[in-house]
């Protein structure tokens, strides 16, 4: 026979005014399942807690019910007090007779009767409670960061500087991401490369960061604290260990293909580094375009290389890394110009996107920072910037706001004006959104001091006419259509998730939303975590955002990782699903309802099992289990039925 003690709190007059506490105690004493019942004016006070501890010892109680305020306030207090008296903390339960009884009722008689029922329902549950231990999961204190843009760089540095090892995996030959392409950053106009490259170098040299560029995640298994990741290290066809990065091979390469880094505004060879400040600064051979791989002849690079680092026969390598947490920082792409047929569909040479314009503005770009249009190299005198090119257009393109375009277009127009003093920039916009520190001021500066003309309206069509590019749009404030014969048009194309993010998300078993961006666990309160434990999000892979927000989120994700790593093992709430192996028939309904992939099928035993590290204890699978094999610890079906019966009282 379990010995249960019930302690009823007066909460001063908060409970006692409406609930006749003495009568409650009197009623409880009649219940044969209750060994001890008493009241006290303030249970949560030190003497109150002392009373609980002493009674547990003196009465040799096996379980305790405290009838007081909401469990969200003092459940922890009384569980600790019980533990101090040698009781298993999960043998202590709270009956809420304040927020859900005394404070909301006026009829003393009925409130007292209700309080008794509330307490008895909790007693019924407690009677069947098991003594539980928190679930302990060991943690491998090593992190992986997927994506080497500014988000991945920041997260890697923060984690590594906290003393933990980091594996940084980047698909491209160099880290740096899109930020490396930018000329200057809004609203301060400081040089993007100048603030980014020191961080890139730090990553490259950091003793605790293992950098794997030109590599992709193939497969992930395990769970929080204990992941095993298979990574494909693509063959660069160059032995990076001996390569000095002198660049002779790139000069000799006869191939010319459009440079991805320069958005096709100039060419690179088949053997190349994406940009001069690349980390690591070692070339790769693009086998699709290399003359040797296509025809079997050439090898000019090999004959040029003084240290003999070219490896035509190098093969992809699969490596395995064990980590405890994974930061996903996969970044973004922009909607291809080809998708937007009404704006020329990529066929009009002087219609470019924002990243290409960044390259035109950049001192390290193909025009050395002079704004020259692609078609004939002329300096454009009239430049039209089109915002929301593919954003905020649920009918045909992306329904959401890409968030960064208003500010970068304003920056573009301003920088253009700084380069071409007699030039005229126009900006077509739906709304100018300036939510950020110093952003509104930046916009006003562009409009009032820098002579940028803002036109509120959509652009209907863009086409080439002679050497000009004609823009048809609407000036909705003036209420008329406008035609601008421009020399150059820059489209602020929509920010979309990076290519391959869907596949990666499937491999990681993390969720994406309807627009393909990665989903956070909670939009307000858990913005840097995935719903799947052990995965953290940073940067534009989650949704479009600017650099300050990206860096803040990356640091947030990193601090979540280091918080996880602050212990050798994780303690998880033990009130989770458990399977009775003798009853389970292996129907797998539970697997289909689990939002956390915590239910798995054991092929050998032919039963469904619970991954205790992943289970969050919602109970959805318990209710779904057709044979009752799955139960929730300390909230079993039997406990619930007893609670129901008790809550309905005697009569």
Partner 1 sequence: MFEPKIVCFVCKWCTSAGADLAGTSRLKYSPNGINLRFMCSSRVDPEHIMWAFRQGADGVLVGGCHPGDCHYQDGNYRTQTRMALLRRVLDQLGIESSRLRLEWISAAEGKKFAEVMDNFSEELRKKGPLSLASKEMTV
Partner 2 sequence: MTRVAYYPGCALKERSAHLERPALGAAEKLGFELDELDSWTCCGAVPPPSEERIMNLVAPIRILKDVRDTGDEVLVTICDFCYNSLKRANHRVSTSDLDRKRVNAFLRENQPKRDYLPSTEEDYRDYLGEVQVMHLLEYLRDVVGFEEIAQSRSTELSGLRLAPYYGCVMLRPEDEIGLDSVENPTIIEDFLVALGAETVAYPYRTVCCGSYLSVSFPESSARLCSNIISSAAEKGADAIVVSCPLCFYNLDSRQKMISELYPGTKSIPILYFTQVLGMAMDLDISDLGFDKHYVDPEPVVEKALGSLKGGGSR
Interface with partner 1, residue 640, by CB under 8 A: yes
Q: What is the DSSP string of 235-270?
A: --SB-TTT-----HHHHH----EE-TTTTTSSEE-S
Of 361 and 590, the one with the shorter C-beta distance to partner 1 is 590
- Cα 498 to Cα 503: distance, rounded to the nearest angstrom: 11
Cβ pair 435, 428 in contact under 8 A: no
Q: Is 285 exposed, middle or buried (CB count within 10 Å of its CB: 0-12, 13-18, 19+)?
A: buried
DSSP 281: -
- Cα 4 to Cα 64: distance, rounded to the nearest angstrom: 6
Choose from partner 2, partner 1, none: what does 342 bind? Cβ within 5-8 Å by kind: partner 2
CA-to-CA separations, 69 to 24, 28, 97, 109, 597, in angstroms, rounded: 15, 18, 6, 20, 35
Of 135 and 470, the one with the shorter C-beta distance to partner 2 is 470
User: Across-strand partners of 518?
Assistant: 512
> Using CB under 8 A as the criterion, which residues of the chain lie in contact with partner 2 when the complex forms?
341-342, 345, 347, 461, 463, 465, 470, 472
Cβ pair 177, 331 in contact under 8 A: yes
Q: At what angle do helices 192-205 and 150-161 cross, to 10 degrees?
A: 50
Cβ 15 to partner 1, closest distance in Å?
11
Q: For residue 82, give both structure tokens.
A: 């019980």
Of 70 and 228, the one with the shorter C-beta distance to partner 1 is 70
Interface with partner 1, residue 619, by CB under 8 A: yes
- Cα 26 to Cα 38: distance, rounded to the nearest angstrom: 9
Binding-site member from 188, 316, 595, 606 for partner 1 (CB under 8 A): 595
Choose from partner 1, partner 2, none: what does 593 bind? Cβ within 5-8 Å by kind: partner 1
Measured in whole angstroms, the distance separating CA 535 from the mean position of its chain's CA atoms is 8
Cβ 125 to partner 1, closest distance in Å?
9
Site for partner 1 in 13-72 (CB under 8 A): 70-72
Interface with partner 1, residue 101, by CB under 8 A: yes
Choose from partner 2, partner 1, none: what does 345 bind? Cβ within 5-8 Å by kind: partner 2
Interface with partner 1, residue 623, by CB under 8 A: yes
Task: Please name the residue ranges forming H helices in 13-45.
Answer: 21-30
Of 344 and 497, the one with the shorter C-beta distance to partner 2 is 344
Of 21 and 56, the one with the shorter C-beta distance to partner 1 is 21
Interface with partner 1, residue 590, by CB under 8 A: no
Choose from partner 2, partner 1, none: what does 647 bind? Cβ within 5-8 Å by kind: partner 1
Cβ pair 397, 447 in contact under 8 A: no
Interface with partner 1, residue 622, by CB under 8 A: yes
Binding-site member from 77, 121, 126, 530 for partner 1 (CB under 8 A): 121
Interface with partner 1, residue 648, by CB under 8 A: yes
Site for partner 1 in 162-191 (CB under 8 A): none
Binding-site member from 382, 393, 616, 633 for partner 1 (CB under 8 A): 616
Interface with partner 1, residue 96, by CB under 8 A: yes
H or E stretch at 72: helix 71-84
Best CA proximity match to 180, nearest among 330, 352, 355, 373? 355
Interface with partner 1, residue 620, by CB under 8 A: yes
Residues that bind partner 1 (CB under 8 A): 70-72, 96, 98-101, 103-107, 110-111, 113-114, 117-118, 121, 531, 575, 593, 595, 616-620, 622-624, 632, 635, 637, 640-641, 643-645, 647-649
């Amino acid at each position: 026979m379990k010995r249960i003690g019930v302690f009823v709190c007066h909460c001063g007059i908060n409970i006692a005014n409406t609930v006749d506490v003495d009568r409650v105690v009197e009623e409880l004493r009649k219940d044969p399942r209750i060994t001890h019942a008493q009241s006290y004016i303030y249970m949560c006070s030190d003497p109150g807690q002392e009373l609980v501890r002493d009674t547990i010892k003196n009465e040799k109680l096996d379980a305790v019910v405290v009838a007081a305020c909401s469990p969200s306030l003092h459940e922890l207090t009384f569980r600790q007090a019980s533990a101090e008296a040698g009781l298993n903390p999960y043998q202590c339960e709270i009956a809420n007779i304040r927020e859900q009884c005394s404070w909301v009722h006026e009829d003393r008689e009925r409130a007292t009767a209700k309080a008794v029922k509330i307490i008895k329902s909790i007693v019924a549950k407690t009677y069947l409670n098991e003594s539980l231990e928190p679930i302990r999961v060991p943690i491998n204190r090593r992190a992986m960061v997927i994506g080497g843009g500014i988000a991945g760089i920041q997260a890697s540095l923060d984690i590594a500087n906290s003393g933990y090892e980091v594996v940084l995996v980047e698909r491209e030959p160099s880290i740096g991401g899109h930020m490396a392409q930018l000329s200057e950053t809004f609203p301060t106009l400081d040089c993007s490369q100048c603030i980014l490259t020191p961080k890139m170098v730090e990553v490259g040299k950091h003793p605790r960061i293992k950098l794997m560029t030109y590599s992709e995640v193939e497969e992930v298994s395990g769970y929080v604290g204990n992941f095993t990741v298979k990574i494909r290290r693509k063959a660069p066809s160059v032995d990076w260990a001996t390569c000095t990065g002198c660049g002779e091979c790139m000069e000799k390469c006869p191939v010319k293909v459009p440079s991805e880094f320069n958005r096709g505004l100039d060419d690179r060879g088949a053997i190349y580094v994406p940009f001069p400040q690349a980390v690591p600064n070692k070339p790769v051979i693009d086998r699709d375009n290399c003359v040797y791989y296509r025809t079997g002849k050439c090898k000019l690079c090999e004959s040029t290389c003084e240290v003999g680092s070219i490896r035509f026969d190098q093969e992809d390598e699969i490596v395995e890394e064990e980590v405890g947490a994974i930061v996903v920082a996969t970044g973004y792409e922009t909607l291809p110009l080809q998708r937007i047929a009404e704006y020329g569909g990529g066929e009009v040479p002087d219609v470019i996107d924002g990243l290409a314009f960044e390259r035109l503005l950049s001192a390290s770009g193909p025009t050395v920072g002079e704004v020259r249009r692609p078609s004939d190299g002329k300096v454009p005198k009239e430049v039209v910037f089109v915002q929301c090119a593919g954003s905020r257009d649920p009918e045909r393109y992306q329904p959401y706001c890409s968030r960064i375009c208003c500010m970068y277009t304003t920056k573009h127009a301003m920088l253009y004006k700084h380069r071409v003093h007699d030039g005229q920039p126009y900006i077509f916009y739906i709304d100018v959104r300036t939510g950020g520190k110093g952003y509104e001021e930046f916009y006003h500066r562009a409009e009032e001091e820098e002579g940028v003309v803002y036109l509120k309206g959509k652009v209907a069509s863009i086409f080439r006419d002679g050497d000009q590019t004609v823009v048809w749009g609407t000036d909705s404030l003036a209420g008329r259509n406008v035609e601008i014969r421009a020399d150059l048009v820059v489209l602020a194309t929509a920010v979309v998730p990076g290519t391959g993010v869907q596949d990666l998300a499937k491999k990681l078993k993390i969720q994406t939303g309807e627009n393909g961006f990665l989903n956070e666990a909670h939009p307000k309160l858990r913005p840097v975590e995935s719903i799947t434990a052990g995965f953290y999000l940073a940067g534009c892979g989650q949704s479009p955002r600017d650099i300050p927000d990206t860096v803040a989120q990356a640091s947030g994700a990193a601090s979540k990782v280091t918080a996880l790593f602050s212990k050798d093992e994780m303690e998880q709430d033990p009130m989770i699903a458990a399977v009775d192996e003798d009853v389970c028939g292996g129907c797998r309904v539970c697997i289909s309802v689990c939002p956390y992939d915590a239910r798995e099928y054991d092929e050998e035993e032919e039963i469904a099992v619970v991954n205790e590290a992943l289970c969050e204890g919602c109970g959805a699978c318990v209710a779904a289990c057709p044979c009752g094999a799955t139960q929730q610890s300390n909230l079993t079906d039997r406990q619930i039925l007893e609670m129901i019966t008790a809550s309905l009282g005697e009569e």
